[in-house]
Amino acid sequence: MPAPAQTVLDSGRPGPRVLVVGGIHGDEPSGALAAAALAGGAAPARGRLTVLPQANPEALAAGQRSAPRPGARDLNRAFPGSGDGADARRAAEVFALARDADLVLDLHEEGGAWAEADLATLVVAPAASAFAMELLEQLERAGAPFAFTGGAPAGSLVGELGRLGRRALVVEVPARLPRAERVRLHLLVAERALGLLGMR
């Protein structure tokens, strides 16, 4: 299984290193679409933006939460990627990129499993709390209020980055919204986050 394709937009100037991940869950396409749009955009004003639109391309192609193969598991419970199998290898590849970033945005859609399913929500690793509060203010000013919670699950990308003291956020947008609105919200969060870091 080849490594997932990434796009690196490098300003050539010193600055933050940001990773945006989409498509960890194949039944949540808006994150992959938003990440692809970001990858096709302008390089940051400073620092480096790495975009991984399809972290789990097999699952995305099938429109399923996990890859359609025997023994496949939820990729967002396979981090940091220890153990055997395709999912552990993929998780290790993604985690290696994420571990070196100054900020990670992991784009998802929330459904009935979340109590906050009617609200767009930021799920925050502890090291990203102060940054997330600034970001929430920016989103409120933009007319897109987000809820705020901690506690990304063990084995998730953001949960495991949080255990290492890294700044990481899950961006959960309600699956009930039209696809174009879900993509817009993901892009709004990414652009406002980059703006706060002086990259836009």
- The answer to whether residue 167 is domain-embedded is yes
Per the listing, tokens 């817009």 go with 184
Vertex 75 angle, CA 112 and 105, to 5°: 75
- The answer to whether residue 141 is domain-embedded is yes
The 10s digit of each residue's pLDDT in 29-67 is 999 999 999 999 999 999 999 999 999 999 999 999 999
- The answer to whether residue 152 is domain-embedded is yes
- Alpha-helical segments (H) within 40-178: 57-62, 86-99, 129-141, 157-163
Phi-psi region of 15 (alpha: psi -120 to 50; beta: other; left: phi over 0): left
Give the structural domain span for 189. 7-196
Tokens encoding 125: 């690793």
Please return the burial class of 123, using the count of CB atoms within 10 Å of its CB with bins 0-12, 13-18 and 19+: buried
Closest alpha carbon to 10 in 36, 52, 43, 53: 43
- The answer to whether residue 2 is domain-embedded is no
- The answer to whether residue 58 is domain-embedded is yes
Number of domains in the chain: 1
- The answer to whether residue 91 is domain-embedded is yes
Res 187: pLDDT:
98
The 10s digit of each residue's pLDDT in 135-192 is 999 999 999 999 999 889 999 999 999 999 999 999 999 999 999 999 999 999 999 9
CATH number at residue 82: 3.40.630.10
- The answer to whether residue 1 is domain-embedded is no
